[in-house]
């Protein structure tokens, strides 16, 4: 089994959080997630998140602190998901490398079909609201 390290950004802005929908024809296609991606060689998790959020949504963020670490197995893929609280510092979101995105209230997160690894993160966000 392969283990991959993935970063995910919880970007809160005016009582809403940014969620993204994964593209068609990728792992977990069309599921909703906290945007981010795989750590590349030599990169810190913070650098990875800043890069991924620019690539996928065209936004500039500050990575603030770790919120949750999730270990999840999807068949033959084991992911370690590092979820960070982030602050938006520039840009307005565009669908550069995602299918869609939404700014949603924390109590609306339940309406979206999230990737399985995100379910504990969604419920923790709702608890700590």
Ligand X SMILES: Nc1nc2c([nH]c(=O)n2[C@H]2C[C@H](O)[C@@H](COP(=O)(O)OP(=O)(O)OP(=O)(O)O)O2)c(=O)[nH]1
Question: Residue numbers of the site for Mg ion (CB under 5 A)?
Answer: 37
81 is a site residue for ligand X (CB under 6 A): yes
- In whole angstroms, the minimum distance from the beta carbon of 7 to Mg ion comes to 9
- Tell me the site size for ligand X, rule CB under 6 A: 18
Applying CB under 6 A, among 10, 17, 53, 79 the residue interacting with ligand X is 79
Give the C-alpha separation, 12 to 2, whole Å. Answer: 32
62 is a site residue for ligand X (CB under 6 A): no
125 is a site residue for ligand X (CB under 6 A): no
Q: Are the C-beta atoms of residues 65 and 84 closer than 8 Å to each other?
A: yes
Give the C-alpha separation, 72 to 6, whole Å. Answer: 11
Give the C-alpha separation, 55 to 24, whole Å. Answer: 17
Give the C-alpha separation, 106 to 104, whole Å. Answer: 6
By a kind-dependent CB cut-off of 5 to 8 A, residue 38 interacts, out of Mg ion, ligand X, none, with: ligand X
First-to-last C-alpha distance (Å) of the chain: 36
Residue 120 annotated as lining a ligand binding site: no
17 is a site residue for ligand X (CB under 6 A): no
Phi and psi for 103 in degrees, rounded to 5? Answer: -95, 115
By a kind-dependent CB cut-off of 5 to 8 A, residue 48 interacts, out of Mg ion, ligand X, none, with: none
55 vs 105, beta carbon nearer Mg ion: 55
Residue 128 annotated as lining a ligand binding site: no
DSSP SS3 for 123: helix
By a kind-dependent CB cut-off of 5 to 8 A, residue 50 interacts, out of Mg ion, ligand X, none, with: none
List, as residue ranges, the binding site for Mg(2+): 36, 56
């Amino acid at each position: 089994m392969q283990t991959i390290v993935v970063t995910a950004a919880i970007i809160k802005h005016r009582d809403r959080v940014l969620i993204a929908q994964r593209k068609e024809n990728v792992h977990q296609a069309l599921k909703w997630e906290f945007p981010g991606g795989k750590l590349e060689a030599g990169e810190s998790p913070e650098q990875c998140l800043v890069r991924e959020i620019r690539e996928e949504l065209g936004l500039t963020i500050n990575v603030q602190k770790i919120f949750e670490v999730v270990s999840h197995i999807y068949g033959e893929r084991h992911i370690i998901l590092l979820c960070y609280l982030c602050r938006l510092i520039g840009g307005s979101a565009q669908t550069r490398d995602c299918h869609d995105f939404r700014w949603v209230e924390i109590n609306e997160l339940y309406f979206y079909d999230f990737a399985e690894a995100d379910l504990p993160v969604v419920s923790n966000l709702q608890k700590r609201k």
